[in-house]
Structure 1
């Protein structure tokens, strides 16, 4: 049914549930694109140059470890996948990457926001839901 699935994870406890959910809808012809989004100010895509700040370097490495762990998890289950760290604000980066990769489903988590958090802004999942180029499957865990 779905041929290109984008899975957005951030390394929190819910990330494993998000991967499990994506596996349940994947089939032999499905390619899964695992992404973790890092804020521009913390991105350090060229770690070899050593020009990034220690905080940027640590955050970039953390995100790379997250997507690599997910890639290995999926490959061990014979699911074709890619793993990418994307710089930007999560809601736009996720939608843009899904559009660029021709994804026909986005799978992501959702955390429950406090009343104050809801007053000051929408969740990433809500923003992706409003702007996604394809259906979204949310693990509300």
Structure 2
């Protein structure tokens, strides 16, 4: 059923929860796993001030490498083989959709980030945007705290 799984991963607690849930699914199905980190392109406004300093790019690369390595370590600890990829893209949902097509994904796993209605309106929702962009199923993991509101 789900033989190729893409995990959209940014290292946040919500994405860690989603990764753990997806690992359980992948283990049961013996699925191929792809861990994808989408790094937003530098804003055009920042680029108008001139070239970005090398230290900015090095720092950004170090941060994303740490995020990917953390996620890959969790997958490997569960006995799963996984490939890590980084996409630098303006629109995360578009990058995730294109990547899912590239690897022939059967399902994409994302973590749900709880935000206010205004914040969601202003910044949009990656999960919602994925509904129209994916060639496959979408698994949205709810934050652990939301599963038990009384705690």
Q: TM-score range by the shorter chain?
A: 0.7 to 0.9
- Native 8 Å contact 2:3 2:29 kept in 1: no
Give 1:15 shift.
2.2
Q: CA deviation at 1:58?
A: 1.3
Distance 2:53 2:61 in 1: 10
Q: CA deviation at 1:28?
A: 5.6
Q: CA RMSD in A?
A: 1.8
Runs of 4+ in structure 1 off by over 3 angstroms are: none
Residue segments in structure 1 that go unaligned for 5+ positions in a row: 43-50
Work out which of the two has the higher radius of gyration on C-alpha atoms and give 1 or 2: 2
Count of residue pairs the alignment pairs up:
133
Residues 28 and 131 of structure 1: CA distance in aligned 2, closer, same or farther (over 3 Å): closer
Gaps of 5+ in 2: 44-51, 144-151
- Residue 6 (structure 1) aligns with: 6
CA contact (8 A) 2:18 2:142 kept: no
CA deviation profile, 1:30-64 (whole Å, cap 9, x unmatched): 1110011101228xxxxxxxx96322221221111
Inter-CA distance 11–133: structure 2 relative to 1 (3 Å threshold) = same
TM-score by length of 1: 0.85
Counterpart of 1:22? 22
Q: Is the 8 A contact 1:64 1:84 kept in 2?
A: no
SS at match of 1:111: coil
- 1:5 deviates by 0.2
